[in-house]
Amino acid sequence: MSMTFVGRDKILEEQPLLEIGRISKSFGGPKVLDAVTFCVRRGEIVGLVGPNGAGKTTVFNIVCGHLRADSGDIKLGGRSVLGLPPHSIARRGLGRTFQNVRVFGRLTAFDNLLVASETSRWNTWRAMTRGNRNAGLGERVELALESIGIQDHAQELAESLSYGQKKLLALAMCLMADRQVLLLDEPLAGVQPDIASIILARLGDLARAGKAILFIEHDLEAVSSLADRIVVLDGGRKIAEGSPAAIQKDPLVLEAYLT
Amino acid sequence: MNYFLHVLVLISIYTILASSLNLLVGCTGMLSVAHAAFYGLGAYAGALAALHWGFGFPFDLAVACGLGAVVALIVALPSLRVHGDYFVLGTFALQMIVFNLLNNWTAVTGGAVGMGRIRNPSVFGIFIASPLRYVCLSGPFAALVVWALMKISQSSYGNVIRAIRDDEVLAETLGTDVHREKTIVFVLAAAIAAGAGSLYADYIRFIAPSNFTVQESIFLLAIVIIGGAGNFLGSVIGAAVLVALPELLRFFDVSSAAAANVRQILYGVLLVVVMIARPRGLLGEYDFRR
């Protein structure tokens, strides 16, 4: 897909695209998130790491609107999205992939991307009266499939794709939806090295095109190779934030990962 | 000949019903057992409009569709927020409420004994009284409904409702207002079913609550499943097979009292055989059991 690359030094000075301000959450018992605060700027790749149960996916679910925070605020492009339904938050510029990869299994790979594209410019009457193939959109879909290397599987049902191909398809759906902020839940988990390299290349392209990317990974070394900045959660609290080099030496982080 | 035409009229009415239910169940994944409730509401609304206002067939049909749509909209607002089994239970409750309303609101509906003296429709001055003329009315209606639903199914909207069927959470995360789109589909399907009810009442000229029970809803579901979920031509074939099949009993020495029970057994056996031998149905897009 064609992308306009932007100067990174400049954009890092701009207002963050995603601001997470002191969000807390409990499910009746102890807090699973406790006043977590951080941000992601345009063109930045931020890794969200922490041991199991640290609250990483809960952060994603709150940002997406699938869970409601007990307190705190979420801003997307400077505007609060707290309390909005997930589809509304998505239309304001948020894309997401899931830890357990989710695609529309009984649609073809091609149609998965068409759906992802349609929902960003939704008009019910136009959608009902227009065929699901138009030349311009079809070309975009084909380019997106090519960019992740599964163009040969375009007409296969998504449920018949391999796990890695589904991960690629899920990422391509984010590309088609053209969101400004992307939340990627373990994009590299369980995929083979060749697919991981495609995913890493596309994430680099997206960041250079000015997207703000927040991703979850368990492997601190893998995160360090990709992220500009890392946020570390442990027991629902942010225990560290900084460059990959600084995080790897942080005593609190080392303790959280070693214990 | 008239008997053959009568079967054709029934097939066209059941085609309309099954196609609209297929949009709901096969394309959007909303398993409803309340379709006969909308069918019944439309039948009574059309008949009452004809009886009290007498503006003619298109008006009666519009009243029926309008009432179906309004009731569906009122029901959709709370019930479409629940999913899966809870949604099925919600539609079951609606089906029972509508049946009991038709059965007990005697002053308006005639109660359990039903409503007779419904006038045959008149279209552009032509009185539609014979089965042949009614085939000429209901046949094109069925064709129009199937064509329109196929167009919707093949449109971008069709893709989006199939996406909702496959994974609501993902569809919502991509920006689809799932509740809104499900409401639109539910209202559209209900309006079409109510329109079929009006056609049925005008043709049969006598309706009773026993025509619109939960068994009728399940019969409509059987047409969709046997024809093939998500495929509208499948609904046409399913309607033809399931409406015509019990008529074959007439050629055997089966008493009319036993015929109704044999008919239920036939449907049951056919459904089980199709589920085992061809879970997609005759022309279905996917395995309905999943």
Please calculate the CA angle B150-B152-B157 and round it to the nearest 5 degrees.
Answer: 140
CA distance A252 to B274: 62
Inform me whether the pLDDT recorded for B189 exceeds 90: yes
- How are strands ordered across the β-sheet holding A45-49? A94-97, A181-185, A212-216, A45-49, A229-234, A237-242
Mutate to test the interface with A, among B149, B152, B174 (most CBs of A within 10 A): B174
Q: What is the DSSP string of A157-176?
A: BGGGS-HHHHHHHHHHHHHH
Q: Is B160 on the interface with A (CB under 8 A)?
A: yes
Q: State the amino acid at position A175 in one-letter form.
A: L
pLDDT in tens, chain A (259 residues): 444 555 555 555 678 999 999 999 999 888 999 999 999 999 999 999 988 889 999 999 999 999 999 999 999 999 999 999 999 999 999 999 998 999 999 999 999 999 998 765 666 666 777 666 666 778 888 988 988 888 899 999 999 999 999 999 999 998 888 899 999 999 888 888 888 888 888 888 889 989 999 999 877 777 888 899 999 999 999 999 999 999 988 888 888 776 6
Cβ count within 10 A of residue B115: 21
Q: What is the DSSP string of chain B?
A: -HHHHHHHHHHHHHHHHHHHHHIIIIIT----S-HHHHHHHHHHHHHHHHHHT---HHHHHHHHHHHHHHHHHHHHHHHTTS-HHHHHHHHHHHHHHHHHHHHH-HHHH-GGG-B--PPPPEETTEE--SHHHHHHHHHHHHHHHHHHHHHHHTBHHHHHHHHHHH-HHHHHHTT--HHHHHHHHHHHHHHHHHHHHHHHHHHHS-B-GGGGSHHHHHHHHHHHHHH-TT-HHHHHHHHHHHHHHHHGGGGS---HHHHHHHHHHHHHHHHHHHHHH-TTTTT-SS-TT-
In contact, B146 and B236? CB cutoff 8 Å: yes
CA distance A209 to A45: 12
Where do the structural domains in chain B lie, given as residue ranges? 2-211
Q: Is B155 on the interface with A (CB under 8 A)?
A: yes
* pLDDT value, residue B290: 61
Contacts of A64 in chain B (CB under 8 A): 173
The yes/no answer to whether this complex scores an ipTM above 0.90 is no
How close A5 gets to chain B, by Cα (Å)? 24
Instruction: Using CB atoms within 10 Å of the CB of residue B277, give its burial: 0 to 12 exposed, 13 to 18 middle, 19+ buried.
Output: exposed
* pLDDT value, residue A2: 46
Per-residue pLDDT of B126-176, as tens digits, reads 888 888 898 999 999 999 999 999 999 998 899 999 999 999 999 999 999
Size of interface A-B (CB pairs under 8 A): 100
Pick B156's closest partner by Cβ from A96, A104, A114. A114
Q: Which residues 181-200 in chain B show a CB within 8 A of chain A? A: 181, 184
Q: Is A96 on the interface with B (CB under 8 A)?
A: yes
Q: What is the pTM of this model?
A: 0.89
Mutate to test the interface with A, among B173, B231, B290 (most CBs of A within 10 A): B173
Instruction: Using CB atoms within 10 Å of the CB of residue A77, give its burial: 0 to 12 exposed, 13 to 18 middle, 19+ buried.
Output: middle
Mutate to test the interface with B, among A61, A128, A159 (most CBs of B within 10 A): A128
